[in-house]
Structure 1
Amino acid sequence: MKQISILGCGWLGYPLAKNLIKNGHLINGSTTSESKISILENAGINPFLVALESESVSESIDDFLDKSEILIIDIPPKLRGINSDSSNSFRKIFVEKIETLIPSIEKSTVKKVLFVSSTAVYGNENNIIIEETIPNPETESGKQLLLAEAILQKNQNFETTILRFGGLIGEDRHPVKFLAGKENLENPDSLVNLIHQIDCIRIIEEIIDQSKWNEVFNAVAPFHPTREEYYTQKATEMNFPLPKFSAQKSNIKKTISSEKIETTLNYQFKLENY
């Protein structure tokens, strides 16, 4: 049994916390919403109201981290609407939040950090992507995630594992809902790189159970149909209007490999054809 703090009990963090409790662990969970405190408490999670800002963090952070050996950071960058400053560079808001968090981790009992990142750090490579591939992010969120990864990895006060998820899907979350019925969608022959919530949770559990720290893992289900094939099939299965794709082909066929997860963790994806 371990005591684990999960920073961000949202779409992934909340069901993850419930699963870890079932496995016998003690869980501290954070939220930024007072209305969710009772929800976490009713699920057996020790709830904390924690707001992480660019220049400050809630006073509750010390109690949230107290007695925990492991910290799971699962907070999205949320960078929409950020404007560039006079030097034409974006403010590194998410990076600043991680930097603000670091001193609290250093003085706590936490010795292991699992940082939930994204395959967006690789950009649009026309290749098979493995963990040794040099990241080349094109989006602002990808750039800030990569910087945040580096800040955590270089800190000698704790061991950090980086977990880069592909596109997240689940029973209540599927991109076809937003694509259904739309026309002239780009990149029909680009390949999908998705992972289901169930596999996300199971992979995190395996990292903890097997003590795989100071690692970087890509986590994407090992099936990669084209966007047009996949979303047309899913729209049909879900009785949505079919999406219509542009006839213009793309030369970007990025394939995220999860071979390291499968071999290092001896992991078999539960759902290979979402």
Structure 2
Amino acid sequence: MFNKNIKYFTTGEFAKICKVNKQTLIYYDQIGLLSPIVKDDNGYRYYSIAQYDLFSVIELLKTLGMSLKGIQNYLAEQSPNAFLTLMRQQQQIVAQKRKELELIEGMIKVKIGSLEEAANIDFNEITIERYPEATFYLSRNIENVTEEQFVQAVADFIDELDRSQLDTGHPIGGMTRREQVLAGNYTNYSHLYMEQPLPRAGHPYFKAIAGDCLVGYHIGTTETLPKTYARLFKVMEEQGYKLGQYVYEEYIYDAIVKKREEDYVTKIMLEIENASE
């Protein structure tokens, strides 16, 4: 029976208030999630404004990833204490999602900055630049591994970055020891790395010591890499330097922005020392 002091809404009217289509409310009624508060003798269904809060909470829980079955389970045992517990649980979920979104936002900012910087680089130029101390998160040692072991190491490294939330948006690079580079083994990396501008405690890191680096760019596949290194070595010798402990390589342009591998651009950074020392 209607309470004349309460305003009731038809399914269409209530759907308009909730900004959903009627079929959503009909489905919620069918599964017992949100049923009209009144069903008259003529088969008409009516909702009250008090049910809007319940609809809002259902949509909130759906947005946070809770299944309709999970919401049904809560409604079967609903009480003030149960709702308080549920809201506290969802508050923790929101806090975690906020943290994840902040990490994603940081990654996006890094990628935007990198692409904006790359747009102003002359990839034919070779320069000597002073690099500050940098912190890297490293893969396990991969020097002299087989092709299969290398693939597994890459997969494991990416898993570690994801699991430990250490993906900063910087490119995954490869660092090669001086001995391998001088022997012409330019891609026999000792480790993969990712820069960590804000390192968190509890993780093993590698510190790249501040110093001068010879910086150049390789355009193309690894088959033509020796030609680029030959150019770099020539400039290094002409400037009176010798190769330092490590060489670092990381993509500037890869499959994200270039379709052909021949158009990929790799940044190469050679640690250098004064040859007279």
Could you say which structure has the larger radius of gyration? 2
Decide which structure has greater helix share. Answer: 2
Q: TM-score range by the shorter chain?
A: under 0.3
TM-score (norm 2): 0.22
- Structure having the larger proportion of residues in strand: 2
